[in-house]
């Protein structure tokens, strides 16, 4: 009896030990991992690894103490760059040299172009979103896409097709929408102008790029799932670049948690919808006229994933940048009504007065080219509010910048277009003023050096869609300003607040009140 009881006790003991082994092992493993992590942290604090820096700039960045004085990171960077004699600062914790020096911009984009590619670190940040698209590759892949896109965008058929799409969107959607908003009984109906222009630009680029019409400019409809996913992917991809250590977002991506899980879901939706668009275009085959960019690219590319990457890159360039610039333009115009009056005077001289039914003229491309003041006002807007506030390259080899700043191999070097537009050393003591006349000589537009004004980049990588984008923006400005006064409500161009993203977006939107103008007669 006693022996049996002893055997049972022994068996129970072994069973209990066996059942606890996984838990004990897990606790031991967790303790060991924590101990190792603590040791690495302590060692890192003693050794001060490359990503650690206690300088005032890095401390302000890591602690976000700059937010006590500045609403936006770009404004803080502009402040730092203005203070530096060489207009160049080093944010060590980001491994990033920032510059607002035109000589340095020219050095990067022209003089030492081969030494400043996009680079592998940049490509890694945007690879999930942009893939092998033109904005995320270097070398032969970039050159192939650039030559192909440049040839297509220069084709008279594409330019005529794009102009007809923009005119249709203005005449049939944007202008009627603004008429509706201005004719409310209370006169107090507000529009989010940023939302309106994002929808307008999205419709235009989808029709130009895909030959398909999402119909987003119907405000009664929600933004398409594609557009929402695109916004999310853009915002979260940009957030990766702000992390002091890229290993942090890479770890979250590996574990599929937090922002990275949301980013993966958004990109998955972009992929699915882009693939469906490509399938639909392939099904149409010879039935399509082939005027849209996607149809024309299909003549040279059979890889659907590659097509997806190219199309998404064109979407980013053709939708977000146009919407950003147009929103900023009317924000500035609300603060400077005399500029709107000057635009109307020029439009009347070039295109004639409004008709009796107050329908604005949708200016033809030739007429738009003769509107030098409109051109100047648009460029002045983008000087102060560039759609892409900064652009980064990664040094392929060691270098010394024109101001004497040494650059180690692998360093991220960023020219800051937003800060450059606010430099007295570049634009004079009135650099903070919205003054279109600075671009005119004898009433004609005079361009600036792209290295003083790198809104469209410069050198070999100058934006190939520049002319198309300017045509679209000028056409929208002329059509809207002729018939409407647009007054911002609760916002000013003096102290904007930006949301994170790959392009400049105003946080919280731009609410406006639209009023239809009375006939000149």
CA distances for 139 relative to 288, 398, 427, angstroms: 33, 19, 34
What are the binding residues for heme? 463
Which pLDDT score is estimated for 521? 35
Which pLDDT score is estimated for 409? 94
Which pLDDT score is estimated for 397? 95
Dist CA 457 CA 466 (whole Å): 10
Dist CA 122 CA 395 (whole Å): 11
Dist CA 346 CA 379 (whole Å): 16
Which pLDDT score is estimated for 491? 86
Which phi and psi (to 5°) does residue 450 adopt? -65, -15
Rg (CA), the chain: 27
Dist CA 59 CA 168 (whole Å): 52
Dist CA 277 CA 272 (whole Å): 9
Dist CA 471 CA 162 (whole Å): 9
Sign of CA dihedral 437, 438, 444, 445: negative
Q: Are the C-beta atoms of 233 and 263 separated by less than 8 Å? A: yes
Look at residues 356, 348, 359, 324 and name the one whose alpha carbon lies nearest to residue 231.
Answer: 324
Dist CA 199 CA 211 (whole Å): 16
Residues in the chain, overall count: 521
Look at residues 233, 174, 163 and name the one whose alpha carbon lies nearest to residue 199.
Answer: 174
Q: Are the C-beta atoms of 306 and 132 separated by less than 8 Å? A: yes
pTM of the entire structure?
Answer: 0.83
Look at residues 446, 451, 448 and name the one whose alpha carbon lies nearest to residue 373.
Answer: 446
DSSP 68: G
Percent helix, strand, coil in the chain (nearest 5)? Answer: 60, 10, 30
What are the binding residues? 463
Helices of type H across 287-422: 293-297, 304-315, 321-335, 337-351, 365-369, 372-384, 417-420
402: Cβ contacts below 8 Å, ≥ 6 apart: 101, 103, 104, 107
Dist CA 147 CA 57 (whole Å): 41
For tokens 């082939």, name the residue.
290
- The three-point CA angle 309-328-435 to 5° equals 125
- Give the alpha-carbon dihedral of 277, 280, 286, 292, to 10 degrees: -20
DSSP 128-143: HHHTT-GGG--HHHHH
Give pLDDT tens digits along the chain (521 positions).
445 555 555 555 555 445 545 554 454 555 555 555 545 444 444 444 445 677 899 999 989 999 999 999 999 999 999 999 999 999 998 889 999 999 999 999 999 999 999 888 778 888 888 888 777 788 888 888 888 888 888 888 888 999 999 999 999 999 999 998 887 655 567 899 999 999 999 899 888 887 778 788 776 555 567 778 888 888 888 888 777 777 888 888 889 898 999 999 999 988 887 888 788 777 776 444 567 778 778 877 888 888 888 878 877 778 889 999 999 999 999 999 999 999 999 999 998 765 545 566 677 778 899 999 999 999 999 999 999 999 999 999 999 999 999 999 999 999 999 999 999 999 999 999 999 999 999 999 999 999 999 999 999 888 888 999 999 999 999 999 999 999 999 888 888 999 988 889 999 999 999 999 875 43
Which phi and psi (to 5°) does residue 288 adopt? -80, 155
Q: pLDDT digit string (tens) for 466-510?
A: 999 999 999 999 999 999 999 999 888 888 999 988 889 999 999
Which pLDDT score is estimated for 48? 45
């Amino acid at each position: 009896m006693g022996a049996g009881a002893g055997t049972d006790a022994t068996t129970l003991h072994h069973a209990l030990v066996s059942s606890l082994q996984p838990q004990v092992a897990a606790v031991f493993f967790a303790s060991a991992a924590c101990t190792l992590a603590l040791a690495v942290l302590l060692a890192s604090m003693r050794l001060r690894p490359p990503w650690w820096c206690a300088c005032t700039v890095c401390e302000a960045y890591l602690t976000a103490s700059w937010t006590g004085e500045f609403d936006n990171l770009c404004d803080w960077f502009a402040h730092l760059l203005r203070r530096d004699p060489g207009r160049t600062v080093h944010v060590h914790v980001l491994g990033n040299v920032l510059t607002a020096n035109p000589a340095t911009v020219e050095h990067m984009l022209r003089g030492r172009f081969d030494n400043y590619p996009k680079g592998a670190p940049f490509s890694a940040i945007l690879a999930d979103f942009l893939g092998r698209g033109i904005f995320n590759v270097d070398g032969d892949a970039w050159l192939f896409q650039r030559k192909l896109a440049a040839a297509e965008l220069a084709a008279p058929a594409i330019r005529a097709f794009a102009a007809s799409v923009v005119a249709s969107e203005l005449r049939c959607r944007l202008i009627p929408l603004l008429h509706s908003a201005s004719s409310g009984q209370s006169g107090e109906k507000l529009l989010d102008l940023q939302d309106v222009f994002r929808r307008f630009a999205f419709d235009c680029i989808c029709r130009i790029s895909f030959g398909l019409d999402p119909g987003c400019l119907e405000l009664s409809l929600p933004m398409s799932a594609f557009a929402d996913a695109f916004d999310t992917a853009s915002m979260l991809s940009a957030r990766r670049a702000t992390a002091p250590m890229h290993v942090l977002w890479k770890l979250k991506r590996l574990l599929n948690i937090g922002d990275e899980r949301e980013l993966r879901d958004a990109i998955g939706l972009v992929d699915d919808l882009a693939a469906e668009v490509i399938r639909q275009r392939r099904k149409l085959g010879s039935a399509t006229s082939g005027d849209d960019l996607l149809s024309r690219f299909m003549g040279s590319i059979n890889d659907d994933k590659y097509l997806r990457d190219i199309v998404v890159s064109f979407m980013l360039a053709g939708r977000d940048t146009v919407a950003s610039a147009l929103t900023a333009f009317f924000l500035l115009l609300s603060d400077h009504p005399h500029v709107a009056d000057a635009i109307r005077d020029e439009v009347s001289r070039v295109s004639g007065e409004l008709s009796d039914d107050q329908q604005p003229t949708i200016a033809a491309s030739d007429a738009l080219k003769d509107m030098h003041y409109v051109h100047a006002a648009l460029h002045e807007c983008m000087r102060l509010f560039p759609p892409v506030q900064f652009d980064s390259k990664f040094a392929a080899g060691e270098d010394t910048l024109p101001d004497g700043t040494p650059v180690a191999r692998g360093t991220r070097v960023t020219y800051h277009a937003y800060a450059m537009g606010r430099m007295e050393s570049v634009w004079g003591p009135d650099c903070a003023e919205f003054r279109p006349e600075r671009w005119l000589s004898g009433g004609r537009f005079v361009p600036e050096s792209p290295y003083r004004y790198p809104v469209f980049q410069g050198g070999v990588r100058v934006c190939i869609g520049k002319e198309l984008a300017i045509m679209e923006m000028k056409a929208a400005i002329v059509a809207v300003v002729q018939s409407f006064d647009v007054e911002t409500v609760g916002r000013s161009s003096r102290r904007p607040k930006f949301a994170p993203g790959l392009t400049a977006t105003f946080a919280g939107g731009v609410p406006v009140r639209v009023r239809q103008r009375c006939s000149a007669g």
